Structure 1
Amino acid sequence: MAAGALKARRRGDYKFELEYRTRWSDNDMYHHLNNSTYYFLFDSVVNTYLIKHCALHPPTSPQIGLVVHSHCDYFAPVEFPAVVDLALRVNKLGKSSVTYEIGVFERGQDHVKAVGEFIHVFVHRESRRPDASGMAKELKTGLERLLMHQANL
């Protein structure tokens, strides 16, 4: 997706939010959130949603999600101290894969600071291969709640 379209994202373009309070150690030497922190935040919002709304229990679930792709477009810095809202949506839902989009918003602001993409492929815990039947029903049902229609991508 074009950076201009992503930069135009607003909170209402997402269906789930998770709050994060930045820590002093999140900053880098340039006094803004380090790039690696954004990926930590993406992982946190996705897994929070999966655990709370998709019946995923990472230590014991028969299926696990493997990250096969991720990237981030940065539009404006965030620095300590700040409260950010991590906004989540699903842009594509396949038989065993899901493409998430995460918007990072500073509390009280509607302009997105960064937009990330994160793709999971759900595989059998032991074989590390997708199940022939695809994702578990509870998982797919939970992810469908975040699915955006093609016109809203």
Structure 2
Amino acid sequence: MATPALKARRRSDYKFQLEYRTRWSDNDMYHHVNNSVYYYLFDSVVNTYLIQHCSLHPPTSPQIGLVVHSHCDYLAPIEFPAVVDLALRVRKLGNSSVTYEIAVFERGHEEVKAVGEFIHVFVDRRSRRPAKNGMSEELQKGLERLLADRPRL
């Protein structure tokens, strides 16, 4: 996606948000949040939503999500101490896959600091193959609520 479009993102473009307070250990030697921490945050906001709104229970659910793709566009640094808002929406929802978009905003600043993409393919826990009928109904319905082209809840 083009950088100008990403830089135009606002909190209101996303339907689920989660707060994160940076830790001293999140910083790298350049005194900003390390790139690897962003991926940790992406995983956290996605899985928080799945657990709270899609009835996913990672240790026992019959289906699990496997990450098949992820990337991040870093637009501006964040440094400790900071509170960030992780904003989540679904850009594409398929039969067994979902493409999430996650934006990272620093509290007190309107401009987006990073925008990431994360693709899950939901598979049977045992076989690691997509289910014949795709993802579960609860999962599908929960993810539909985050579709980018739907009105905000």
Report the TM-score when normalising by structure 2. 0.97
Specify the alignment match of 2:42 in structure 1.
Answer: 42
Q: Offset at 1:9? A: 0.3
In the alignment, which residue of structure 2 is the partner of 1:57?
A: 57
The residue type paired with residue 18 of structure 1 is L
Return the alpha-carbon distance in structure 2 between the equivalents of residues 149 and 82 of structure 1.
31
- Indicate the SS of the match to 2:31: coil
The SS at the match of 1:73 is: strand
Q: Secondary structure at the match of 2:132?
A: coil
Any unmatched runs of 5+ in structure 2?
none
Question: Alpha-carbon deviation of 1:3?
Answer: 1.5
Instruction: Please name the residue that 1:135 is paired with.
Output: 135
Matched positions, count: 150
For 2:149 and 2:48, the matched residues in 1 are separated by 23
Paired AA for residue 84 in structure 1: V
SS of 2:148's partner is coil
Cα deviations by residue, 1:88-137 (Å, 9 ceiling, x for unpaired): 00000000000000000001222100000000000000000000100000
Q: Distance in 2 between matches of 1:149 and 1:84?
A: 24
CA distance in 1, matches of 2:132, 2:110: 42
Determine the structure 1 residue equivalent to 2:67: 67
Percent identity between the two aligned chains = 81
Does structure 1 residue 119 correspond to structure 2 residue 119? Answer: yes
> 1:26 aligned to 2:22?
no
SS in 2 for 1:77: coil
Distance (whole Å) between structure 2 residues aligned to residue 37 and residue 71 of structure 1: 13
Segments of structure 1 that go 5 or more residues without pairing to the other structure are none
Measured after TM superposition, the shift of residue 11 of structure 1 is: 0.5
TM norm structure 1: 0.97
* Partner Cα separation in structure 2 for residue 128 and residue 109 of structure 1: 42
